[in-house]
Amino acid sequence: MTSSKLSMLARIERFPIAGTFTISRGAKTEAVTVVAEISRDGLTGRGECVPYPRYGETPEGTLGALQAMQDAIAGGLTRKALQTAMPPGAARNALDCALIDLEAKTADVRAWNLLGRPVPSECTTAYTISLGSPEAMAAATAKAAHRPLLKIKLGGDGDEARIAAVRKAAPESELIIDANEAWTEANLERNLAACAAVGVTLVEQPLPARQDGALARIKRPLAVCADESVHDRSSLAPLRERYDAVNIKLDKTGGLTEALAMADAAQALGFKIMVGCMVATSLSMAPAMLVTPQARFVDLDGPLLLARDRDHALRYDGSLVYPPDSSLWG
């Protein structure tokens, strides 16, 4: 008996954010995701992505890129062939994760067994505090001060005051700072010193990508992590003098297949690993859980920032996040 052809459906979905999510590039009140569903013989694999305007992606453009792959999918596109058929980015992520989900369902195994990776266990995720005034950020931080790991969004001018206010509001939490490319060479060392003074563990992407050479010319008082400066394996080697860690996001790598290969390569080069996310549902977080066994920092709090998640969501117990049930993904 021969298998039927693969078929795909793709759509844009919207999920309201609880309040407003603000970073240095702006604020938003909803998470806009694109979902791909690939089906064969009564089984369906799903993948979710978040198009990122920082990289010129839009929901409509991403949906169009997925729909343009219909014929290739019907022709039996494999996950290996997908890696060269599409460039890294959100659209390929949705397809890659959908194909893995379908492969796991077809083989009746969990995705980590299918891919030969360690079984993920529950882990502590960061919880994000949006950019605002020092007073507003301190108030938001105080409400989350029971969480062991906080990720603080900064934005340039006034960041020293924000750093001090946040630390005062959460004296016991481990802090990660994410500047989202908002610092400059002029304030870099001053802001890093302010972070070091209050015991911040990690600073993420302080300078704009491709304008971050100053990081190699200074003595860094704490670990600095690349986000916008790093995408897939090809971008790793040039960053060794500037960064101590890399943030692996499936929407940047173009899927879990490349993310796992990138994690292996990053470890071999001596980078610490953060596994990160966009603001999205549990369907986006589930594949990223397979990277967590290699990660020093886990930042998979997207669903915690939503007013509602999708059905069969990941289990969150405070800041602990648990591996997905197969009814969600994988």
Q: What residues act catalytically? A: 153, 249
Burial of 84: CB neighbours in 10 Å, binned 0-12, 13-18, 19+:
exposed
List the structure tokens of 121. Answer: 């266990």
What is the distance between the alpha carbons of residues 12 and 245, in angstroms, rounded to a whole number? 33
What is the distance between the alpha carbons of residues 330 and 325, in angstroms, rounded to a whole number? 8
What is the distance between the alpha carbons of residues 268 and 237, in angstroms, rounded to a whole number? 11
Work out whether strand 26-40 and strand 7-23 pair parallel, antiparallel, or are unpaired: antiparallel
Which three-class secondary structure state does DSSP give residue 41? coil
**Nearest by Cα to 202 from 227, 176, 221, 167:** 176
What is the distance between the alpha carbons of residues 281 and 310, in angstroms, rounded to a whole number? 6
| Torsion sign over Cα 315, 273, 21, 198 | positive
Tell me how many helices (H) and strands (E) the chain has: 11, 14
